[in-house]
Structure 1
Amino acid sequence: MNLFFFLKPLSSLMILSYIILFFLLVRNTSCDVDPNYVACPPKTCANNNQSISYPFYIEGTQEPFCGNPGFAISCGPNGFPILNLSNTHYIIHQIFYENQTLRVSNAAFSVSRSNTTNSKGCLPVPLTHNLTLPSTPEFDIAPNQSNMRLFYGCESLLPWPEEHRVGCSNETSSVLAFYKEDKNISLVSKNCRGEVVDTIVEDGIIEGGVEEALRKGLLLTWKAGNCSDCHSSGGRCGFDSIMYTFRCFCTDRVHSAKCDPDNGPG
């Protein structure tokens, strides 16, 4: 028998065996990746590049265990992430994961110029409750924020310098805003007939005046398990709602703090 004809089927069989073995290895590898890890990659809202990951999660897009309880967010119609605090919507402008801080603003102030028939479009009504945020189990107001006061029904003081007029509560009722240390605040409080609303804004906003300060909002710090060790070890952070504790989702399995497959649970 010719040796060539004997070796040819044998070599073809070996090649086929290698191909089958390769696909089996790929299949087993992909199947072995922990499903919690697969479920929790960072996401973004449409038309927005802010990465959303632990402790936050987007309702309806990410699994709740990818974030902490109390950190659910939604995506607004303009693409911005929205955080609901004390039944009030706050736009998330920036999340600083490295120091567990985020900058938010009341959604009402994001539309202060949206009314094209009025250069100072009207604020939604009613804004008759304080906009200062109480401490919650999840969030605190960061240090070095400024107190601001909004006065409604200030027609008797018009025309006041334009930089203090932030809108109107309806077609006729003007709203003026002042930092609490402003020397004019006593005069304004005596002459504006509407509600007085307190709020907080980030320090150091000078360009654009009080309206820009309201639009940019304030800084919050959050209280949740620190993700840095898990993230630096290649894991994705999450939460065990049964044990009610932080977990690190790794490609091999769930660890307590970080991915460390060579030394048992992290």
Structure 2
Amino acid sequence: MANLTLTYSHLSLLYLFLLISSIQCQPINTDSSFYYNLCAPSRCNNLSLTYPFALPNSCYPSIDKPICPTNQSLLLASTSTTDTGHIVRVLSLDYNDPTIATVLVASDSLFTCGAQVSRPNFRAVDTIFSLPLNYTRGTHLNCTAPIPSDSIPGLQNASCLGCKGQDPTNVCYYAPGFVSYPTTCETFHVFTPGGAFNASGVSDMRAFLQLGYQIRYDKPAECRGCEKSGGRCGSQPISGSFVCFCTSSVHRMNCSDGMYHIHSQKFSFT
């Protein structure tokens, strides 16, 4: 697990570099239509992206940052102080309902051999997304030694998440709910549709989890109102609070309410 920890440290440093760079490069412009044009739909690989997934800074909520390195895969990086460094890969986006986006995601660490996968994988707090009600929560445990079968309710044997030959002496398990076994096991939260999950029946847990799980984004009322008035949803470049970018000005909620002036690297109400 030492190698996994070292690899994770490198990934965390890379994430922090990208995050700091994006903050330092926040676009500040006094052109009244700049932000409206900036937040036009963008693309990553074959995905068309609108709020909250649009790539330019100020075109997404401040809590989850979309990234598209080398135009390969759309990634969502948590900016929460409780979950810094965690990144999920977007496998598909469904915009069929204009008020709800259904997103298929998987932890990005599952696609890189050697990357540490003992991350929470998804948090129900500090995020704009939610899990569907029919999903079952569970925990994968990657242990350096066997643990007693009666130590955790519902404990099952499971295949490990490492690539072939990685941690060959480790023993892995699955348990329903969010559990831990300190000092001996690394944990990874698992989300599966339906009822009880038969982890023992999955021969390759890593490949199974790479198929992803659904999360859901419910467009808030202020964003729906902004779009209905002809604006584009976004966030204030400095504070991260919601704003509505319109063709001739920046507004608090929609294109006909209190207007912002853009000056001195910040918005201010008139």
TM-score (norm. length: structure 2) = 0.55
The runs of 5 or more residues in structure 2 that have no matched partner are: 1-30, 147-156, 260-270
Shift of 1:172: 2.1
| Structure 2 Cα separation of the partners of residues 95 and 56 of structure 1 | 10
On the 8 A contact 2:142/2:160 being kept in 1, the answer is: no
Tell me the amino acid that sits aligned with residue 91 of structure 1.
R
Q: Look up the match of 1:217.
A: 212
Tell me the amino acid that sits aligned with residue 92 of structure 1.
V
The runs of 5 or more residues in structure 1 that have no matched partner are: 1-31, 112-121, 157-161, 182-188
Shift of 1:133: 2.5
On the 8 A contact 2:100/2:218 being kept in 1, the answer is: no
On the 8 A contact 1:93/1:102 being kept in 2, the answer is: yes
Distance change in 2, residues 1:258/1:202 (3 Å): farther
Distance change in 2, residues 1:137/1:179 (3 Å): closer
1:44 matches 2:43: yes
CA RMSD of aligned residues (A): 4.2
1:81 matches 2:74: yes
* SS of match in other structure, 1:105: strand
Q: Look up the match of 1:72.
A: 65
Map 1:7-26 to 2 at 5 A.
Answer: none
Map 1:1-266 to 2 at 5 A.
Answer: 34-45=33-44, 48-58=45-55, 62=56, 64-76=57-69, 79-85=72-78, 86=83, 87-96=85-94, 98-111=99-112, 123-125=114-116, 127-128=117-118, 130-133=120-123, 135-136=125-126, 138-152=128-142, 164=159, 166-168=161-163, 170=166, 172-173=168-169, 176=172, 178=174, 180=176, 195-204=185-194, 209=202, 210-222=205-217, 225-226=220-221, 227-241=223-237, 245-259=241-255
Shift of 1:256: 3.9
Stretches (4+) displaced over 6 A = none
TM-score (norm. length: structure 1) = 0.56
Shift of 1:176: 4.2
On the 8 A contact 1:83/1:92 being kept in 2, the answer is: yes
Higher Rg: 1
Distance change in 2, residues 1:78/1:176 (3 Å): farther
* SS of match in other structure, 1:51: strand
Distance change in 2, residues 1:139/1:149 (3 Å): same
* SS of match in other structure, 1:93: strand
| Structure 2 Cα separation of the partners of residues 78 and 166 of structure 1 | 27
* SS of match in other structure, 1:252: coil
Structure with bigger helix share is 1
Shift of 1:99: 1.4
| Structure 2 Cα separation of the partners of residues 172 and 151 of structure 1 | 15
